Structure 1
């Protein structure tokens, strides 16, 4: 589903990625681990087309994503890739339902259908009674579930998560990890997750370890 080859990235004189090759199959849950500064988030941002490599390609469903115009790339990203970040990034003035709907509205979808899908996702993620609550009225675990629903609203091929449980207590972290695996079981969702959480990394189908901008190991669990 995803194939990245020869990825290199530097910022000034700092070489962050030094030739990364990765393939991801549909329905896999892959964790990316490594020390701070190893290049994990940079790699995730390039796989998600939020940043561009200096060299190399990212191909998703046989499409060379960086060969598109910037406008086409933005549309592709919104429809094909979902993102979950450590600090939720929910808009405080909007309800849970409205936050989930935003990527669908950006994609110019039918508002009624988007609203219905957002409600369905929040229900599936155990938030049926919280749809009209604003982020400040939700627990950290609930906010992160809203963020997961938002990532799923356009039925993306791939969800990329950057330290998704890094801001959660241990119980909510376990609940979130189990949610990822339930979503893979129920709908075949594919996840690539940057994490320092060893429990989540060891639950994954594969654990890719980066060191100094290179892949140190890529092991099936």
Structure 2
């Protein structure tokens, strides 16, 4: 059974059709990259797959749940519990330490504080940040900040992680390290990842590379 499946997803902005019937199936443990020219609909699709936006028509199932059958409150809860996000700009809260930033999604869903802090610490150690847990984002390098963001995305053990240009703000060395990290997460934890990227090296490393062109999907 597919972990994620879309059926004829369509999205218009005014009279402009951006997504013209996207059918997509992603299996557990897959790393899938999505590429395409600017304006092709990549970010719009990612926002819909991540339940941050609703399509005009079509269906999205994640882990057996028809997510757009949920109301806004239920959908927000599902998103917090089952979906992780990594963005180009890491969106870390500057007044919180690395550990506190990672813990936040766990606290939001009401998990036990001690358990959340323990898992956050383990994730940061796994990602090579053992000595950075008490540092503020301003005290971290760009690569370290993005690894904190990856740990935050994983804190609630999501079914799937969506990454939007995750290495777009990094130099080549840190970008390569981040790319390797994604595949380590797949290999060691069976994590499913969907990555929107302009980085052809990262896109080609994925199990599958999908191309959006004129609002349609091609393999």
Indicate the TM-score class for this superposition, using the shorter chain for normalisation: over 0.9
Q: 1:73 aligns with which of 72, 75, 79?
A: 75
* Aligned: 1:204 with 2:203: no
Q: 2:125 aligns with which of 123, 126, 132?
A: 123
Cα distance per residue 1:121-160 (max 9 Å; x no partner): 0000000000000000000000000000000000000000
Name the residue aligned to 1:170: 172
For structure 2, list consecutive stretches of 5 or more residues without a partner in the other structure.
none
Name the residue aligned to 2:18: 16
For structure 1, list consecutive stretches of 5 or more residues without a partner in the other structure.
none
* Aligned: 1:3 with 2:26: no
* Aligned: 1:110 with 2:112: yes
Name the residue aligned to 1:25: 27
CA RMSD of aligned residues (A): 0.5
Q: Which whole-Å CA distance do the structure 2 matches of 1:17 and 1:25 have between them?
A: 22
Name the residue aligned to 1:133: 135
Runs of 4+ in 1 over 2 A off after TM superposition: none
Under a length normalisation based on structure 1, what TM-score does the superposition of the two structures give?
0.97
Aligned length: 217
Q: Which whole-Å CA distance do the structure 2 matches of 1:4 and 1:129 have between them?
A: 41
Q: 1:146 aligns with which of 138, 145, 148?
A: 148
Name the residue aligned to 1:186: 188
Under a length normalisation based on structure 2, what TM-score does the superposition of the two structures give?
0.98
